[in-house]
Amino acid sequence: MRSPRPPHPAVPGNLPAPVDRFVGRAAELAALERLLGEARLVTVTGIGGVGKSRLALRVAERAQDRFCGGVWLVELSAQRAGKRLVPTVVAALGLPDSSAQAPSAALARHFTEPAEAAALLVLDGCEHLVDECAELVGALLSRAPRLRVLVTSRRPLEAAGEHCFPLSPMVAETEAAELFTERAAAVLPGFAATARRQREAVAALCRRLDCLPLALELAAGALRALSVEQLLHRLDDRFRVLAGSGRGTLPRHQSMRTAIGWSHELCSPEERLLWARLSVFGGDFDLDAVEYLCSGSGLAGDEVLTALTGLVAQSVVIREEEAGQARYRLLATVREYGAYWLAELGETEWLRRRHRDWYLGLATWCELDWFGPRQTEVAARLDRELPNLRLALEYSLETPGDAHVGQYLSGALWFYWVGCGRLAEGQAWLDRALALDGEQPEARVKALWVAGLAAVARGEPVPALSLLHECVGLAEECGDHTAAAYATQMLGAAAMVSDDLPRAERLLRESLDRFGTLGELNALVLLAQVQLGLVLAFAGDLAGGEALCEEVREIAADAGEHWARSYALYVLAYVRWSRGEEEPARELLRECLALKRELHDVVGQTMALELLAPLMVGEEPELAARLLGAARTGWSSFGEERFGWRRLDPPHDACAERARGALGEAGYEEALRLGRGDGLETAVTQALSDEDEDANGPPGPRHPKTAEDQRAEHDELYVPPGQRA
């Protein structure tokens, strides 16, 4: 009988036993373990409360079997004096306190002795002792070749051989919700977000807290007194709400104010000033905006980049890169802390006005740049800058005497509201702006004709008429001939969707004559010609409509313009469909949809899908019906179906009749339902798929977004902070 194997000797070390379960972070755990296997010095960096210590300790715990010399934790956040660093490490390792031997010598000998060589040293909370830690770590690593060091710090040590591991808040909202729910259950036994309303509240809470682990744990503690919904409503004062009892936690983790304030203490005066000024931004921002907004009065222009680099290094500012350009952002909690100091400095009003002026200039420049080859870039830029544009609009409409700026800004963004899928939001801003009395009639007339355009695009010609008639009268009073020309164009468009084709033709021709006299040429002028071409086509003059739109197609192609060109392609496809030329019509609509998809033009994509469906129903009736269902989703996101315009009904009705005949009533209704579920973007992807794809059945959805997701992305209304659920 074999004798039993002796028990494996316990690995030395001083890691504390975890008191609660480690939740999520599987990807980060694996990545940090790989990095620690490759590098001898790894520093986990990130803002306070992001979970650096918890992640490092979890990795250290899982790695204990690899280090026969032990895994040793040294907690440094409470150690303020750099000269006490080495004695603190010596004490943490349990080395004998011998007056005959210097602490540094004892430490060096410990990690160089053969039996203790393979060891892991975890230095937790080094941000206030980076110089001392860098010196110590460098000395130890150079003398102990089998030693590895894992550091947590809000900024890198910048030591030789250091590999940084930047840690972000929890990426998966589901993981954040799991963490919150588990910690909440510890406070309220039996807590579980099972009801839909409560699940939605927890998800919203996680988003508002940037999925920051410490914030979620403190929020869970607040459930002793508040419900999740009450807590969510109180997050505008998050520093008061997110404060724990402090028992059993590190001092810097007792409240969010303390956690963020610890980072603030470590900043230089210039970095603190920049942090406060950066709080004026919403969403992310670029370096040009930072240098314009934040320089001056205590922070010279040539100091801004240095201070910004320091804030990035300390994880206060998050750096991201897109299309070769660096952009920056603050977590909401970090922004709120900076806003407090901005108010203390008395600079809030000055910075908000300066911020508004910068984004007013951006909107003006983008409006000019919309007519040209950069339309797709302009659309993408404004998507990124939308949170800042909202803040600029909010400031203008809330500040006495600045209503005219809000009217001008909401009008200058017409191309974004109408052409890039933000029609409902644009209408809301325009309504707010026009409800105010501005001091400059030129700004009001612009907002009026843009509001008229938006109303027509939403299938509301009657409200559009009152806006546009006011615009014409005011434009004549102040001599704004350009605004009068646009108002005339929109009156023609309103007549068009009201089926008054003779009046529409007269007004659209008049607007084009006015544009010619003024020398005005841009995307809206080309659109006026397309609108006239569509009126002629509906009136039976297919050749006249075709000629006008071919001219627009040529001019737009020369200018690199996509938006008006895509509408010209739609009219040309309608002409081909009317003549029975199905294959040319299909090709024109696919080209139209490809351009519309680049710009996220919901109106244009919806119109094109409804015209494409009857051209596909003969070969693929189920796909055609699904396209109609997706188009119905598109209509519901911005206005009345087909603008309430009966001239657009024939293609839809023809497709519906043939699809019903091929699929049967039940099959047709099921295909419509599937199309509504797919949503607009999935349907456009299906419509643009290769022609040689298997046609035995409609292709499945290729886009991960649901119809609900797509509506939220393209037409999400801004909710002021005080009104958020």
Q: Beta strand 318-322 with 325-329: parallel, antiparallel or unpaired?
A: antiparallel
* pLDDT at res. 644: 75
C-alpha closest to that of 523 among 566, 484, 573: 566
Angstrom distance (rounded) from CA 529 to CA 536 = 11
* pLDDT at res. 710: 43
C-alpha closest to that of 32 among 8, 51, 13: 51
pLDDT digits (tens, 9 = 90+) for 564-608: 999 999 999 999 999 999 999 999 999 999 999 999 999 999 999
* pLDDT at res. 84: 79
* pLDDT at res. 98: 57
Angstrom distance (rounded) from CA 683 to CA 605 = 10
What are the C-alpha distances in Å from 59 to residues 52, 62, 64?
11, 5, 9
* pLDDT at res. 249: 52
Instruction: Give residues with Cβ within 8 angstroms of 308, minimum separation 6.
Output: 274, 287, 290, 317, 328
Instruction: Give residues with Cβ within 8 angstroms of 53, minimum separation 6.
Output: 124, 125, 152
* pLDDT at res. 234: 81
**Residue type for position 370:** W
Contact 138, 160 (CB under 8 A): yes
The secondary structure of residue 721, as a DSSP letter, is G
* pLDDT at res. 704: 37
* pLDDT at res. 97: 65
- Please give the model's pTM, rounded to 2 decimal places: 0.85
Angstrom distance (rounded) from CA 703 to CA 711 = 14
C-alpha closest to that of 450 among 473, 430, 433: 430
Sort residue 478 into left (φ over 0), alpha (ψ -120 to 50) or beta.
alpha
Length of the chain: 725
* Helical spans, DSSP H, in 130-252: 130-143, 173-187, 196-208, 213-221, 228-233, 238-241
End-to-end CA distance of the chain: 71
Count the neighbouring beta carbons within 10 Å of the beta carbon of residue 116.
19
The pair of structure tokens assigned to 209 is: 């807290």
Q: CB-side exposure of 176: number of CA atoms within 13 Å?
A: 27
The residues of the chain scoring below 70 in pLDDT are 1-11, 80-82, 97-103, 114-117, 244-254, 690-725
b/e per residue 124-147 (b: at least 16 CB within 10 A): bbbbbbbebbbbbbbebbeebeeb
Nearest-Å Rg of the Cα atoms of the chain is: 32
